[in-house]
Amino acid sequence: MTLADFFGCTFLAFGPPFAMFIFTIAHDPIRIIILMAAAFFWLVALLLSSTLWFALVPIRSNLEFAIFYTVVFQEAFRYIIYKILRKAQNGLKKITDNSTALIENKHILAYVSGLGFGIMSGAFAVVNILADSIGPGTMGLKSGNEMFFLISSCLSLCFILLNTFWSVIFFDACDNRNWVHAGFVVCSHLLASYLTLLNSYVAGGSIASLRSCLSFK
């Protein structure tokens, strides 16, 4: 049963992103390179966030503040990779003949880099949970919810797709200097991240837990 949980949750979290990679990215080496570069930039953002968290000893337990600067770092590196890709477009045109659509269609660059961001964030969010799902025990026997692994996988998939959408919107906003849309990406990223803090309030899905969530008791 634990092995079935592992494979089911893994396919749920990474099945759609893997299909997106196979059908839209795997055939083009330039897209693969951009995807890997975006994933690396997300790792650098995570490294800086972790360093800051480790340095700020008095507020390590303050998840609200940690989420804030983590999102800020991620969005800052989303902007950095945007600037790098835009500056590299002319160079990419000179070295490739098979990726004309990629270079000329700016939305494809945003999509590929966003998927790289999302896959790496999803991997770090759920990989330890998936490792625990193998066993030796399962959730829900004495404490905890048996839907924990399923919900965690769903959340990881949501953030993978959201990061892809956010990059497309953010790149287009930067191209057109539409700072309202860029601000929407940052604010919606913060909102989606802060909503995960409500898990302890709404676990169980009862009317009482909903009231507790809304009243923050």
pLDDT of residue 22: 94
Confidence of residue 127 (pLDDT cuts 50, 70, 90): confident
Return d(Cα 42, Cα 160) in angstroms, integer. 12
DSSP state of 196: G
- Are residues 163 and 117 in contact, defined by beta-carbon separation less than 8 angstroms? yes
User: What is the pTM for the complete model shown?
Assistant: 0.82
pLDDT of residue 213: 58
Tens of pLDDT along 68-125? 999 999 999 999 999 988 887 766 666 555 555 555 567 888 999 999 999 999 998 8
Determine the length of the chain. 217
Mean pLDDT over all residues of the chain?
Answer: 82
Share of the chain above pLDDT 90, in %: 40
pLDDT for residue 65 is more than 70:
yes
Tens of pLDDT along 8-39? 888 888 999 999 999 999 988 888 989 999 99
What mean pLDDT do residues 152-175 have? Answer: 92
Backbone angles phi, psi at 99, to 5 degrees: -120, 35
Tens of pLDDT along 164-199? 999 999 999 998 899 999 999 999 999 999 888 876
pLDDT of residue 106: 75
Q: Please, what's the b/e burial string for 154-175 (b: 16 or more CB within 10 A of its CB; e: otherwise)?
A: ebbbebbbbbbebbbbbbebbe
What are the DSSP calls for 190-209, one per residue? HHHHHHGGGHHHHTT--HHH
pLDDT for residue 159 is more than 90:
yes
Write the single-letter amino acid at 175.
Answer: D
- Are residues 13 and 156 in contact, defined by beta-carbon separation less than 8 angstroms? yes
- Which of 153 and 142 is assigned the larger pLDDT? 153
